[in-house]
Amino acid sequence: MHEKEDVHQEDVRRRLVSIELDDGSEKSVTELDASKWNRWQSYSPGDENNYHFLDRFLDQVLVIKPPPPIKALDYQRMDLGALKPRTSYSLKLRGDNELAVGWERHLREARLVTLPVALPSKGEKPFTLLLGS
Q: What is the pLDDT along the chain (133 residues), one digit of tens a residue?
A: 444 444 444 566 777 888 899 999 999 989 888 889 888 877 666 676 777 777 767 767 766 656 666 777 788 888 888 899 989 999 988 877 777 665 555 568 889 989 889 988 999 888 888 888 7
pLDDT of residue 67: 63
Q: Quick count: other Cβ atoms within 10 Å of Cβ 21?
A: 19
pLDDT of residue 21: 93
Round to whole Å and give the CA distance between 54 and 30: 49
pLDDT of residue 2: 42
Report whether 18 contacts 32 (CB < 8 A).
Answer: yes
HSE-CB for 126 with a 13 A CA cutoff: 3
Round to whole Å and give the CA distance between 90 and 103: 17
pLDDT of residue 24: 94
